[in-house]
Amino acid sequence: MHPNQSKLESRVHRAAEAALSRQLYVSAIDVFCGMGLLAPAQVDSWRKGRVDFLERVIQGNLKKISSSMAIFRRWANEKCLKPSETHYMRRSRAGTVALQFSKSGDPGIERNYRTHYVSPALSEKKQQRLEEKLNQPPKPVVFQNLHEAQCSECGAEIEQGSFLSMELEQPLCLQCARLDDLEFLPSGDTALTRRASKYSGRVAVVVRFSRSRGRYERQGILVETAGLEKAERECLEDADERAVARARGAERRRKQDVELAAQMMKQIAMLFPGCPASEVAVIAGHTAQRGSGRVGRTEAGRNLQESALTLAVVAAIRHRHTQYDELLASGVDRVTARQRIADRVEEILARWQK
């Protein structure tokens, strides 16, 4: 086998194995993304109709793409994976439209791209749910605009803060997008949102761009009025039952957090025997706080990995035993501030490790 072909096989196999291990099924899209030849953002653009066929944005010539597909199919057959054909669709004003993968549009090539390979370990019920999920076209996205715009079709002014849709990179008012009969349901009530989505034949996701975070954030959904009304009635009927369930869930999470903090205290005390018990308790309680985004709430932290707990201890030293916060408050940037206190942090860390 030619060295380049062997290298390509290894890349395909690694990408396919990783996807299969992660989700118990694998597709050609998973493989190309895993190989670094296709970016998720490009897949998203294709799913929304901004790219006419997927091969246009896959890095590599058609020969490389074709070889990768052939290697992938052989690998799937050798693994005895179950083939399952998925219909990739996108929504348009006229209804659903089939997405095209290849430049040629050849039915055989298109079928190869559409075929997912499913692990025998996935139950029939889960396979059925997976097929339903994959065959469902993504919900249309509606933007809460930050600036005034003009509908590219009817010319109507779209005021700042109102909703607009995008089609082929051009703004559309909701009337031209045929979404003006839907009702806005803000985010916040999970049960109501879930039920309204279930009972509404059409649903659109509403997002707004956050300048501070540099990303689009979900604001709510647009749903049919009848679906929303049915969801509201159901939520009223079982409000007491859901309140009890929420209280039980909160108590369960509280106990889990107490247990995690206790485990962290024990592990930190072992790693840093010179650290005072009062310090250990404060560090563990602070690090284990749910929803904080701190290192203790990462998977590594919850698994009590030494690297994660060491970072938590370093952070505690930085904030509790140095002038780090005062330096930041005076306008010193984080990198410079950390450099100035580095020796002090190392000194305390070394003392606590003895």
Which pLDDT score is estimated for 340? 92
Cβ-count burial 248-275 (b if 16+ within 10 Å, e if not):
eeeeeeeeeeeebbeebbebbbebbeeb
> 43 near 54, Cβ under 8 Å?
yes
Task: Report residue 2's pLDDT band, with 50, 70 and 90 as the boundaries.
Answer: low
40-80, pLDDT tens digit by residue?
A: 989 988 887 788 899 999 998 889 999 999 999 999 999 99
Instruction: List the one residue out of 318, 322, 300, 317 whose CA is nearest residue 309.
Output: 300
- If you average pLDDT over residues 5-22, what whole number do you get? 91
168-187 pLDDT, tens digit per residue, is 778 889 999 888 999 999 99
Q: Are strands 203-210 and 170-172 parallel, antiparallel or unpaired?
A: unpaired
Residue 96 predicted with pLDDT over 90: no
Averaged pLDDT for residues 147-173: 88
241-268 tens-digit pLDDT: 988 988 998 899 899 889 999 999 999 9
Q: pTM for the whole thing? A: 0.57
Q: What percent of the chain has pLDDT over 70?
A: 98
Q: What angle do CA 12, 17, 20 make, to 5 degrees?
A: 125
**What pLDDT does 250 receive?**
87
Per-chain mean pLDDT for the chain: 89
pLDDT above 70 for 31: yes
Cβ neighbours of 118 (radius 10 Å): 21
Q: Would the pLDDT of 9 be above 70? A: yes
Q: Tell me which H or E stretch contains 299.
A: helix 299-302
Q: Per-residue pLDDT averaged across 68-95, rounded? A: 88
Which residue type does 229 have? Answer: E
pLDDT band at 1; cut points 50, 70, 90: low
Could you report the per-residue pLDDT of 258-296, keeping only the tens digit for each? 999 999 999 999 999 999 999 999 999 988 888 777 777
CB 123 within 8 A of CB 130: no
